[in-house]
Copies of this chain bind each other. A is one copy, B any other.
Amino acid sequence: MVGYGTIGRRIAEAIAVQPDMELIGVVKRTPDYKALIAASRNIDLYALDEASYELFQERGVPCRGVLDDLLENIDMVIDSSPAGMGAKNKAKYENYGLKMVFQGGEDSSVAEISFVSECSYEKAYGKNAIRVVSCNTTGLSRLINCLDDAFKVKQVFAVLVRRSADPEETGKGPIDAIIPAIKIPSHHAHDVNTVLDVPIVTMAVKVPVTHMHVHALEVKLGSKATREDVIDVLEEASRIILIDLEDGLSSTGRLFDYARLKGRPMGNIYELMVWRDSIKIDGNKLYLFQAVHQEAIVIPDNIDAVRSAMKLGSKAESIRITNATLGITGRAF
């Protein structure tokens, strides 16, 4: 693991519960509370470089060496460093002949393939460099992929209402404003197309919340479908959960509460959450609302990406193990 931020730490936890993977170490730049907690959990820490190593020494945080020391001893690296850093680290990883998984903050050119488990597992099999796409792209792709399988998707228009910062990013705003991503389509459309070949337009706005994105979707279907047909398909999908207003799940705040109460580590919601009551068919168009937990939705895909690159089994097998170990059942309760 390189990076122990919002995504990195969650991948580390997920690896720890996989029967066929081992977490050798985590690379961090700063000896902050995240490093201290990792240390207290007996995770082996490595400093990013010599300067970073000094900081660990000064602060008295246990540290087994620097990035290179770790790279020598592993088969595969998952890079979850800040956006753009992955591309810079890549040459180093290649020097050690490692398999690599990058995150969606990197440009798609960093890897041989952009990855969402359901869409890309087979194509990525045995590849050296895989890029797991961003949270919003993962959410869109999961939905579109299963609709496409069932009904053929002709066109997608999605408006993404995005959280502006994670809970710990306390310097980021806005406090009381909506910020549209003025360029249309937003970059998400292009990013979906690195995974799925479907006509899509996306528009995005940022709003002052810290938990979850919400997507408003209009999907043109290629074959006739009733509301019930769509519900059946989404209920089948293992990483999509249909939620009901009747249960009180009326907002992202409530979904966050649901995840914590359910006992998910860090309140993680690995699944795409679709409001059942919002599903509406009008002619060949489908409308719905879905919510994406920006901190967690890509975690199962990272785990599957490792298996795909390392050729650790079939797609169905990998998804089954990942789901079982992370408590993903496809149902809300």
**In the complex the two chains form, what is the Cα distance from A253 to B177 in whole Å?**
5
Find chain B residues with CB under 8 A from A278 CB. Answer: 180, 182-184
Find chain B residues with CB under 8 A from A257 CB. Answer: 166-168
Interface readout for A295-333 with B: 1 if CB under 8 Å, 0 if not?
000000000000000000000000000000000000011
Find chain B residues with CB under 8 A from A41 CB. Answer: 263
> Shortest Cβ distance from A279 into chain B, in angstroms?
8
Q: Kindly state whether residue A34 has any CB partner on chain B within 8 Å.
A: yes
Q: Kindly state whether residue A209 has any CB partner on chain B within 8 Å.
A: yes
Given A159-B159, A254-B168, A266-B261, also A37-B176 (CB < 8 A):
no
Q: Identify which of B166, B168, B261, B280 contacts A34 (C-beta below 8 A).
A: B261
Q: Kindly state whether residue A164 has any CB partner on chain B within 8 Å.
A: yes
Q: Is the CB of B287 within 8 A of A203?
A: yes
Of A89-97, A112-120, A211-219, the one contacting chain B is: A211-219
Q: Kindly state whether residue A32 has any CB partner on chain B within 8 Å.
A: yes
Q: Is the CB of A173 within 8 A of B176?
A: no
Find chain B residues with CB under 8 A from A212 CB. Answer: 178
Find chain B residues with CB under 8 A from A30 CB. Answer: 248
**In the complex the two chains form, what is the Cα distance from A178 to B174 in whole Å?**
15
Q: Kindly state whether residue A208 has any CB partner on chain B within 8 Å.
A: yes
Majority SS at the chain A contact face: mixed
Number of copies: 4
Find chain B residues with CB under 8 A from A245 CB. Answer: 182
Q: Is the CB of A201 within 8 A of B251?
A: no
Within 8 A of B (CB), among A187-209: 201, 203, 205, 207-209
> Shortest Cβ distance from A245 into chain B, in angstroms?
5
Residue of B nearest to A265 (CB): B263
Q: Kindly state whether residue A151 has any CB partner on chain B within 8 Å.
A: no
> Shortest Cβ distance from A239 into chain B, in angstroms?
19
**In the complex the two chains form, what is the Cα distance from A173 to B33 in whole Å?**
21
Residue of B nearest to A214 (CB): B178
Q: Kindly state whether residue A260 has any CB partner on chain B within 8 Å.
A: yes
Q: Kindly state whether residue A36 has any CB partner on chain B within 8 Å.
A: yes
Given A165-B173, A184-B280, A278-B183, also A201-B218 (CB < 8 A):
yes
Q: Identify which of B184, B205, B256 contacts A167 (C-beta below 8 A).
A: B256
Q: Is the CB of B178 within 8 A of A176?
A: no
- In the A-B complex, list the 8 residue pairs whose CB atoms are closest, starting with the nearest: A177-B253, A168-B257, A32-B248, A159-B159, A170-B174, A207-B207, A170-B253, A173-B173
Query: A residues near B, CB below 8 A?
Result: 9, 30, 32-34, 36-37, 39-41, 59, 157, 159, 161, 163-180, 182-185, 201, 203, 205, 207-214, 216, 218, 245-254, 256-258, 260-263, 265-267, 275, 277-278, 280, 282, 285, 287-289, 291, 332-333
